[in-house]
Amino acid sequence: MSMSGEKISVKTPEYVSLQFESAGLGSRSVAFIIDQAILMVVNILIVVMIFFSMEQMEAFFMMFDSPMVPIAIAIVLIFVINNGYFFVLEYFTGGRTIGKKVIGIRVIQENGHSITLLSSFIRNFLRIVDSLPASHLLGIIMIFAYPKHKRLGDLAAGSIVVHEKGRLKGKKLSKLEKEIANRNITKDNLSLDEWSLNALGSKEWQLLKAYSERFTQLPMAESESLTSEVASVLLVKVGIELEGSTVTDKENMLLALYLHMKDEWDYQL
């Protein structure tokens, strides 16, 4: 059972070509097992909490004149958490559940963009169908047989699961990483809301990535000119006022923006 998948090339709406490695059955299975282990612990805790709270809430349950009420509450909670876990985490954490993050895979749209709220809902709603007839057999067959390793939920939602770009422990820092570290730049240097970040797509990421990797290697005059041009495009687009900002200020803001976008877009090969 291979942990890797096939390489996929996609063209984004901005006509930028991106390459990914789709996550195969092995890596997705391991991620799913991790997620299921987490959910199992949560489910056990819910049952234990309901059991121990029955005595303290006996008067409340007696109002319903049925001993099945606490059991029904536990079932509803477990159902909501088990089904909402994947939907909520995949949408709000860039296509990563805890298991996916550990393994280094994530869900994205087929066009290279982050998974949308609707797509996350569709793919996880159809998880019920993929689990049929037992032990997620249909989903396993689909992932194994389909060229892009898609289950039914992925086909309906227009999503794919891909490997994130690998980061080796102990890897020597690049010039860009050293420059960011020397300037003590973090995401906190640039406060951005989700709407502002969503205004930037793969085209903007490619521009910012090219700028960030080149600006330290250019002569000062060229570097300052390039910084001003890129800042006027990207920083203005996310609603940042540039009036009164020095070239160094713009550089630092662009590097902080790079860190924000890196988590969102730096998963292609």
Per-residue pLDDT reduced to its tens digit, 23-42: 888 888 899 999 999 999 99
What tens digit of pLDDT does each residue of 91-104 get?
Answer: 888 889 999 989 88
In sequence order, the β-bridge partners of residue 253 are none
Q: What is the 3-class SS of 234-252, one letter each residue? A: HHHHCCCCCCCCCHHHHHH
What tens digit of pLDDT does each residue of 79-89 get?
Answer: 889 889 999 99
- Measured in degrees and rounded to the nearest 5, phi and psi for residue 10 equal -125, 150
In sequence order, the β-bridge partners of residue 20 are 8
pTM for this predicted structure:
0.61
**130, 138 contact by CB (below 8 A):** yes
The CA distance from 161 to 139, in Å, is 13
pLDDT for position 169: 44
pLDDT for position 3: 40
pLDDT for position 68: 67
pLDDT for position 109: 86
pLDDT for position 5: 54
User: Which residues, including other chains, have CB under 8 Å from residue 71's CB and lie 6 or more apart?
Assistant: 50
Directed axis angle between helix 220-237 and helix 247-265, to 10°? 60
- Strand pairing report for 105-109 and 159-163: antiparallel
Structure tokens at 108: 């994205």
The CA distance from 213 to 206, in Å, is 11
User: Which string of DSSP letters, residue by residue, matches 39-85?
Assistant: HHHHHHHHHHHHHHHHHHTHHHHHTTT-TTHHHHHHHHHHHHHHHHH
CA-CA-CA-CA torsion sign (97, 254, 236, 249): positive
Q: How confident is the model at residue 69 (pLDDT cuts 50, 70, 90)?
A: low
Q: How confident is the model at residue 229 (pLDDT cuts 50, 70, 90)?
A: very high
What tens digit of pLDDT does each residue of 103-135 get?
Answer: 888 898 887 778 889 999 999 888 888 777 766
What tens digit of pLDDT does each residue of 5-23 get?
Answer: 566 666 555 555 566 778 8
pLDDT for position 219: 87
